[in-house]
Amino acid sequence: MVNYRRDFYIRRVVEPKIMNFQSFETSGLYFHHHLAFQGILDFVSLNFPHYVDLIKVFYLNLKVYVNGYLLSKVNKKKIKVKPNDWFNIAHLMYQGKKLSYPNIPEYLSYERQMALDIMVRPDLEGEIVKIVRSLNINYRLLHFMVVHWLTLRPANFAKVLKEDIFMIWALKNKIYVNWPHHIMQTMLKSKGDDAPLPYGILITRIMQYNGVDLFVEVSTTIGLR
């Protein structure tokens, strides 16, 4: 209760977004084909309510282990997510390369400026790129997917950060990413950085999958009142 009041009670939960790909079917754009290759179309289209107070408690008790297990506890219910549970929860496979910026394996031969040069609009070639409108439309949409779904952040969506460039490069080059691992690392980083808390809909699905009662008030179960 003390830790919750001190560290999480006033924390904000990132407002979830829900993707609908129907409007892009005849657009001529191809950004979503990169997402299809990664097997994450269903994940970014998840549409469920999210419960802010319960999500904060989830983060309070969150632990992730090197063997890929996620543990937490909400409303006196223990939560355990094994690597093979991710498909049932969010249609994500615990497979692929475990990538979390800035830990980039040398064998990928990633070079940031070269990667960025390919993404920039032709009329801005050679200029310093810091904002998303400098990218061509397909890369701009991939950037949108990264900052709002895959490596969520609460603000500065218009900026093109180093980690954004790397993740877009990985998507574009069909480097199959272990998204559950990436998501769990992002969760841990957000928990430790005192930042707004991401993946609200996904965490709701995790709680549902583990039988958490979503309709019991947090304040009742941990004694805030």
- What confidence tens digit (pLDDT) does each residue in 27-68 have? 888 899 999 999 999 999 999 889 999 999 999 999 999 999
Give the H/E segment covering residue 172: helix 162-172
| Residue extents of the structural domains in the chain | 2-221
What CA–CA distance (Å, rounded) separates 144 from 152? Answer: 10
**The predicted structure's pLDDT at residue 95:** 97
Angle at which helices 112-119 and 162-172 cross, to 10°: 70
Give the predicted TM-score (pTM) of the model. Answer: 0.89
Residue 225 has pLDDT above 60, yes or no: no
What CA–CA distance (Å, rounded) separates 182 from 70? Answer: 12
Q: Do residues 218 and 57 make contact, with C-beta atoms less than 8 angstroms apart?
A: yes
How many other β-carbons are positioned within 10 Å of the β-carbon of residue 125? 9
Band of residue 221 on the pLDDT scale cut at 50, 70, 90? very low
CA dihedral 44, 46, 50, 52 (to 10 degrees): -20
Residue 88 has pLDDT above 90, yes or no: yes
Query: CA 206 → CA 14, 77, 88, 135, distances in Å?
Result: 17, 12, 10, 35
**The predicted structure's pLDDT at residue 218:** 57
Q: What is the mean pLDDT of residues 10-32?
A: 86
Q: Which segments within 96-198 are labelled E, that is strand?
A: none
What radius of gyration, in Å, describes the C-alpha atoms of the chain? Answer: 18
- In 3D, which of 207, 214, 216, 200 has the Cα closest to residue 89? 207
What CA–CA distance (Å, rounded) separates 208 from 127? Answer: 48
pLDDT in tens, 99-127: 878 888 889 999 999 999 999 998 887 77
Q: What is the mean pLDDT of residues 199-204?
A: 96
